[in-house]
């Protein structure tokens, strides 16, 4: 058998299967594409741009989701935050958290709720901190040692304070990275150094690992100092109420039931009547994480969908060029049909051309889109290379070639050989 695809198609018997027809059509299709390199390149531009845009945009979306997830992980998992409700005076509401109904004894009582694995009351406030000739205004939090577990804080150097430090009201502190940088810019390790918080001396026993910033004012999580709860209550704040209670639930599936139990217990402790509103609020961190992640995923899908429109435009371009190609090669098609080629052979040839164009455009788009995704972090954008989107984009580009190439291919296959041979 000859290697000439023109003759190969003519020699293909009527009963030949689709796979063999496609195999015979590939050399002829590639030869036709090489004969019109410029047109073939321009035809693939729509697919290239579409695939590259989808990959780059999805990479940005995935990167944003990963960044948000990283920030939200700093809030702790399976965590319920109990905060005071709003207070009012003369009909004027002071806003959420302004009430003084939460007590340290409430936090102690919550430790007995079934499903609770850790509890920590929190009393916090701003304070000017001095270390040598440096000073810094920051947030000081009086907490129990369990707070580190609840909020997923880890220590970079030194140690976190212990239950014994809390029981003895020891003047020890654990500081965040921002505080460490500003109070000890060029000096020795902060661990073991003395600082003064509201003129009360404390010894730094640990430096926290960085968590970064979150959205909103005061979002720098590393701009904090933590001290034992008893120390803050007795020697620093002298507060009779607490700002919030952090509760960690052992199992995510128990979040709703534990929250309900906490509401019931606090209403009993605060002597609230059945028709009275809660004087506290409970925030479920898992709900917050789920909602933010859902919004981020929705935005990624939306942006990816917008970029995918260009794939359709590219497909229309392929169909347009293939229709032009059928018109230009009408006489060639007539000759092939006239010497014995089957209509299916002609259809597969043009269909393979369309698929090859789309596949080449898809591969080029993958290379360009992946390159953009890998380059964006250089200018400060967080990206995650979406391998699933890469595979999907290539598959979609091939399907577009089949979908938009079918009509021109079928049109070529249905040409009347006699009329086609007369075409000039």
Share of residues in the chain with pLDDT > 90 (%):
28
Contact 121, 242 (CB under 8 A): yes
Q: Which of 260, 248, 7 is nearest to 107 (CA)?
A: 248
Q: Does the structure show a pLDDT above 70 at 9?
A: no
Name which of 8-12, 118-122, 166-170 the model is least confident about: 8-12
Higher pLDDT, 186 or 249: 249
Question: Which whole number is the average pLDDT over 418-424?
Answer: 64
Instruction: Tell which residue, 340, 349, 344, 351, has the closest CA to residue 398.
Output: 351
Q: Domain extents for the chain?
A: 5-69+292-422, 100-278
The long-range contacts involving 340-343, CB below 8 angstroms and separated by at least 24 positions, are: 340/10, 340/11, 341/9, 341/10, 341/12, 342/12, 342/14, 343/413, 343/414
- Cβ contacts of 219 within 8 Å, gap of 6 or more: 213
Residue 139 pLDDT more than 50?
yes
pLDDT higher than threshold 70 for residue 146? yes
Q: What average pLDDT does this structure show over 373-393?
A: 81
Q: How many CA atoms does the CB half-sphere of 229 hold within 13 Å?
A: 27
CA angle (243 as vertex; 240, 249 as ends), nearest 5:
120
Give pTM, 2 decimals.
Answer: 0.61
Torsion of CA 304, 358, 12, 7, to 10 degrees: 180
Residue by residue, DSSP assigns 3-25 as S-HHHHHHH--TT--HHHHHHHH
Q: ∠ CA(181), CA(182), CA(184), 5° rounding?
A: 70
Distance of alpha carbon 226 from alpha carbon 223, whole angstroms: 10
Q: Do 227 and 164 form a contact (C-beta atoms < 8 A)?
A: no
Condensed to tens digits (0 to 9), the pLDDT of residues 218-269 reads 578 899 999 999 999 888 887 778 989 999 998 888 888 999 999 999 999 9
- pLDDT tens-place string over residues 61-101: 778 777 766 666 555 668 899 988 764 444 434 445 446 68
């Amino acid at each position: 058998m000859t290697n000439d695809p023109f003759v190969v198609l003519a020699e293909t018997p009527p009963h030949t299967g689709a796979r063999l027809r496609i195999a015979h059509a590939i050399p002829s299709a590639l030869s036709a594409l090489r004969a019109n390199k410029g047109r073939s390149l321009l035809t693939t531009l729509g697919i290239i741009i579409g695939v590259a845009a989808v990959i780059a945009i999805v990479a940005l979306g995935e990167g944003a989701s990963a960044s948000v997830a990283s920030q939200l992980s700093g809030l702790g998992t399976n965590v319920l935050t109990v905060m005071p409700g709003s207070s009012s005076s003369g009909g004027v509401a002071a806003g959420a958290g302004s009430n003084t109904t939460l007590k340290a004894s409430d936090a102690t009582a919550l430790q007995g709720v079934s499903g609770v694995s850790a509890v920590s009351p929190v009393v916090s406030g701003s304070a000017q901190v001095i270390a040598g000739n440096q000073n810094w205004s920051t947030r000081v939090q009086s907490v129990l040692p369990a707070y580190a577990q609840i909020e997923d804080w880890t220590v970079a150097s030194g140690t976190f304070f212990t239950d014994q430090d809390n029981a003895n009201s020891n003047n020890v502190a654990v500081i965040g990275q921002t505080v460490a940088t500003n109070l000890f810019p060029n000096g020795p390790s902060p661990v073991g150094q003395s600082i003064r918080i509201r003129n009360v001396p404390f010894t730094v026993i640990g430096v926290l690992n960085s968590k970064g910033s979150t959205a909103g004012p005061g979002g720098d999580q590393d701009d904090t100092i933590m001290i034992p709860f008893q120390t803050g209550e007795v020697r620093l704040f002298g507060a009779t109420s607490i700002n919030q209670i952090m509760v960690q639930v052992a199992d995510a599936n128990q979040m709703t039931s534990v929250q309900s139990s906490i509401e019931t217990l606090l209403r009993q402790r605060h002597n609230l009547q059945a028709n009275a509103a809660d004087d506290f609020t409970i925030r479920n961190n898992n709900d917050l994480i789920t909602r933010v992640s859902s919004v981020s995923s929705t935005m990624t899908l939306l942006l990816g969908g917008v970029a995918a429109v260009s794939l359709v435009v590219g497909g229309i371009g392929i169909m347009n060029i293939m229709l032009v190609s059928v018109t230009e090669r009408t006489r060639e098609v007539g000759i092939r049909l006239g010497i014995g080629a089957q209509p299916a052979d002609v259809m597969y040839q043009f269909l393979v051309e369309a698929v090859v164009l789309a596949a080449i455009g898809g591969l080029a788009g993958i290379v360009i889109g992946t390159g953009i995704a890998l380059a964006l972090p250089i200018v400060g954008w967080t990206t995650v290379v979406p391998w699933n989107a890469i595979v999907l984009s290539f598959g979609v580009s091939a399907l577009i070639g089949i979908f938009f190439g079918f009509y021109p291919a079928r049109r070529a296959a249905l040409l009347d050989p006699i009329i086609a041979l007369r075409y000039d």
